[in-house]
Amino acid sequence: MDEAGSCASGGGFRPGVDSLDEPPNSRIFLVISKYTPESVLRERFSPFGEIQDIWVVRDKHTKESKGIAFVKFARSSQACRAMEEMHGQCLSPNDTKPIKVFIAQSRSSGSHRDVEDEELTRIFVMIPKSYTEEDLREKFKVYGDIEYCSIIKNKVTGESKGLGYVRYLKPSQAAQAIENCDRSFRAILAEPKNKASESSEQEYYSNMRQETLGHEPRVNMFPFVGEQQSEFSSFDKNDNRGQEAISKRLSVVSRVPFTEEQLFSIFDIVPGLEYCEVQRDPYSNYGHGVVQYFNVASAIYAKYKLHGFQYPPGNRIGVSFIDDGSNATDLLRKMATQMVAAQLASMVWNNPSQQQFLQFGGNSGSQLPQIQTDVVLPSCKKKAPPETPVKERLFIVFNPHPLPLDVLEDIFCRFGNLIEVYLVSGKNVGYAKYADRISANDAITTLHGKILNGVRLKVMLADSPREESNKRQRTY
């Protein structure tokens, strides 16, 4: 099927391909007459809310309409209301065949969904454990007619798990509840009852409760953090951090499947990412992945920052450590050493006068600087004479700050044939000159993207001086 998108004549915002399903369920799929113009679609559907774009599917060769169209709304509730009121209606008095309106298929749903779809009317929420079903109904009845409410309870003790379901009569009411309820409820659309993954959904949110509610406030990068409510004071705040295994490997769980590229783009925000892998579960549509960092500090920071992160919007991912048998004490000691090394490096960079007093290995100036990293480095090698011809030049980017020059020289001379390494004053970049291309390529392969003494390096081939001069001379 070829979609020939035609932007509405009203102009304005048009979503890109990656944002077609943002927010989820905000796009409707129409089966219409081949002779229905786009202007009629805009006229009939604009009363339901802000239309961001309209696509009319056309034949690739004749450009004639195939009788199929898509309308993208700004909000899910607008799309759902349009589906409820326009499904089975005729667009004009001359039409003899009523149109069909569905919520359009997304990456996370296998087919278009209609007004009777249970998945659009039932929401899953986190609630205080003191809530009764009447409390839950009272909170959510403002968004529409509720068919039923239920609270998930422990089968043995009968106590609430702090999780519940609310089933509305209409999809638009469920969408309104998700859009407008207090974010502390963390409302999402629930899986249908007949799906075996419902128990996984409850387990996922139970784990999220233990991870997040016991440590609030925590991460200010998420919109729902910091909005603490007094009604949540009854939560059990069992801090299991002391018993939790700590490692460089993380498990990632999501209600929405993701690709390896998407997983990498999320976790590469934290420096030190070594690799990521998506694991397919043949028994559910959930997304599962494993992420590994070069050091435990990056893994701890990634878990702290990204647990509960919304991707895509409305879907929060769960992040937890994978017990790989590592000794947590040794890992924490190593992390502390890396942090101290980074602090010392930062202090030296900000106050160069202290370089002569700061010795990493003791009070002897002849000792080599200590390097903290998980990277396997070759042994030290002699530098090439200063007058040796330069065969390759490397460009180095430092984040968050440059390494001290003696540390930098010790790292890059290990690949042999190093002539000189130097920093650009006032900038987080530097250069390394080699007398041999193989040595330079070995340095790139070993060091690019790696963390040394708490600083992430980007190492790449530098432009030749002639090429850089040509770039500066461009006047167009």
User: Tens digits of per-residue pLDDT, 391-431?
Assistant: 999 999 998 888 888 889 999 999 999 999 999 888 889 99
pLDDT at 211 over 60: no
253 Cβ neighbours under 8 A, 6+ residues apart: 204, 286, 287, 288, 317, 318, 319, 320
User: Distance between CA 281 and CA 196 in Å, rounded?
Assistant: 13
What 8-state DSSP symbol labels residue 18? G
pLDDT at 351 over 60: no
Q: SS3 string of 229-276?
A: CHHHHHCCCCCCCCCCCCCCEEEEEECCCCCHHHHHHHHCCCCCEEEE
Convert the pLDDT of each residue in 63-107 to its tens digit.
899 899 999 999 999 999 999 999 989 998 888 889 999 888 765
For the chain, the average pLDDT equals 76
Q: What is the pLDDT of residue 336?
A: 62
Q: What is the pLDDT of residue 2?
A: 42
pLDDT at 360 over 80: no
Local confidence band at 216 (pLDDT 50, 70, 90 cut-offs)? very low
Q: What is the mean pLDDT of residues 218-243?
A: 36
Question: Of 78-82, 153-157, 199-203, 260-264, which gets the smallest average pLDDT?
Answer: 199-203
Residue 151 contacts residue 132 (beta carbons within 8 Å) = yes
pLDDT at 200 over 50: no
Q: What is the mean pLDDT of residues 355-363?
A: 42
207 Cβ neighbours under 8 A, 6+ residues apart: 318, 320
Residue 392 contacts residue 449 (beta carbons within 8 Å) = no
User: Look-up: residue for tokens 């942090």?
Assistant: 339
Higher pLDDT, 156 or 345: 156
pLDDT at 233 over 50: no
Q: What is the mean pLDDT of residues 220-238?
A: 34
Q: What is the mean pLDDT of residues 34-51?
A: 93
What's the chain's Rg over C-alpha atoms? Answer: 29
The answer to whether the Cα torsion of 202, 205, 211, 217 is positive or negative is: negative
pLDDT at 229 over 50: no
Q: What is the mean pLDDT of residues 244-266?
A: 82
Domains for the chain: give ranges and CATH numbers: 27-110 (3.30.70.330), 118-192 (3.30.70.330), 249-321 (3.30.70.330), 392-461 (3.30.70.330)
Question: Of 67-76, 140-149, 294-303, which gets the smallest average pLDDT?
Answer: 294-303
Question: Of 10-24, 324-338, 343-357, 454-468, which gets the smallest average pLDDT?
Answer: 343-357
CA angle 464, 465, 471 (to 5 degrees): 95
Q: What is the pLDDT of residue 242?
A: 43
pLDDT at 40 over 90: yes
Higher pLDDT, 441 or 257: 441
142 Cβ neighbours under 8 A, 6+ residues apart: none
373 Cβ neighbours under 8 A, 6+ residues apart: 294, 295, 450, 451, 452, 453
Beta-strand relationship, 287-293 and 249-254: antiparallel
Amino acid symbol at 148: Y
Residue 355 contacts residue 467 (beta carbons within 8 Å) = no
Question: Of 119-128, 220-229, 332-341, which gets the smallest average pLDDT?
Answer: 220-229
Q: What is the pLDDT of residue 412?
A: 94
pLDDT at 16 over 80: no
Beta-strand relationship, 273-279 and 65-73: unpaired
pLDDT at 357 over 50: no
Q: What is the pLDDT of residue 443?
A: 93
User: Distance between CA 86 and CA 102 in Å, rounded?
Assistant: 10
pLDDT at 354 over 80: no
Question: Of 62-71, 434-443, 462-471, which gets the smallest average pLDDT?
Answer: 462-471
pLDDT at 267 over 80: yes
Convert the pLDDT of each residue in 169-184 to its tens digit.
999 999 999 999 998 8
User: Distance between CA 414 and CA 119 in Å, rounded?
Assistant: 59
Q: How far apart are the first and last CA of the chain?
A: 43
Question: Of 14-18, 152-156, 158-162, which gets the smallest average pLDDT?
Answer: 14-18
pLDDT at 215 over 90: no
CA angle 109, 255, 213 (to 5 degrees): 150
Cα separations (Å) of 453 from 295, 347, 373, 460, 467? 11, 13, 6, 20, 33
Cα separations (Å) of 448 from 116, 441, 460? 53, 10, 7
